[in-house]
Structure 1
Amino acid sequence: MEFYFPTEFGEQLAFCSAAFTALIGLFMMFAPGYTYRFLRLQVREGYPDAYAVGRSGGGFYIGFGLTAIMLQQTWIYTALGASFAVAAFGRILSIMSDRGSVWLNLLLLVVQVVLAALPLLYGLGYI
């Protein structure tokens, strides 16, 4: 078994989105404290189970990203993009409803839109 890097430009972009997703997951899983600090979240004293939520979320990102990389199927890339698109929609709702229009929320919205667009454009045949 050898490592496969796509030759088509569109698939390369989708591959990079999946790889970045897995990288985010690794960071979330093995450094939940830094992740929470970056996201400006706090773990209440006496409730260390909040770290389990961050670690399991990171595991999901790792699993989804690596599945897309290993299987290299158009529909899996499309599912990855659709998942990030729905997450970006949730962030937009938060910005509009919760007065969450801070620079970090806007930055993460841009990241989610890019991570959604790259695999969706490939999966839907636009690139």
Structure 2
Amino acid sequence: MQFYFPTELGEQLAFTGASLAALLGFVIMFAPGLTMRFFGLVQREDRFEGMGLLRFLGGMMLGLGLSAILLAQVWVYIAIGATFGIGFFGLALSMLQDHGATFRNILFMVVVLALIALPLAYVFGLF
């Protein structure tokens, strides 16, 4: 089995978005403490449920990105765009209702916008 790398620019951008999603998921899954510190979250010494949730979410992102890389199908790219689009809505909701408009959240919002735009631009033929 050979590793497939797309030849068209649009599919290369979608592939890059899927790779970024997988990389972000990998970091979240295997370094949840680093992720929590980056986002300013505090872990209590006697409660570890948050770490499990972060690893779960990181694993979901990693799995979604890897499945897009391995399958290279339009529907998987749509799934990535839709998943991060709904997550983007949640992040915007947090900024409006929870006063979460911090530099870190805005930076993360830019990353999420790229993870939405790259796969969906290919799917809808913008590249």
TM range, smaller chain: over 0.9
Could you tell me the TM-score, scaled by structure 2's length?
0.95
Question: How many pairs are equivalent?
Answer: 127
Report the Cα offset of residue 96 of structure 1. 1.3
Give the structure 2 partner of residue 13 of structure 1: 13
Once the two structures are superposed, residues 49-95 of structure 1 have per-residue CA deviations (whole angstroms, 9 ceiling, x without a partner) of 32111111111011000001111001110110111111111111111
User: Which residue identity is paired with 2:94?
Assistant: S
AA matched with 2:116: A
Please give the residue correspondences for 1:40-51 in structure 2 after superposition, counting only pairs within 5 Å: 40-51=40-51
Residues 11-36 of structure 1: CA distance to partner in whole angstroms, max 9, x if unpaired? Answer: 00000111111111111111111011
Aligned to 2:114: 114
Residue 123 in 1 paired to residue 109 in 2?
no
Q: Gaps spanning 5+ residues in structure 2: where?
A: none
Q: RMSD of aligned C-alpha atoms?
A: 1.0
Letter in 1 for 2:113: V
Q: How does the TM-score come out when normalised to structure 1?
A: 0.95
Secondary structure in 2 aligned to 1:118?
A: helix
On the 8 A contact 1:25/1:61 being kept in 2, the answer is: yes
Q: Which residue of 2 aligns with 1:36?
A: 36
> Residue 55 in 1 paired to residue 71 in 2?
no
How is 1:20-31 mapped onto 2 (pairs within 5 angstroms)?
20-31=20-31
The percentage of aligned residue pairs carrying the same residue is 48
For structure 1, list consecutive stretches of 5 or more residues without a partner in the other structure: none
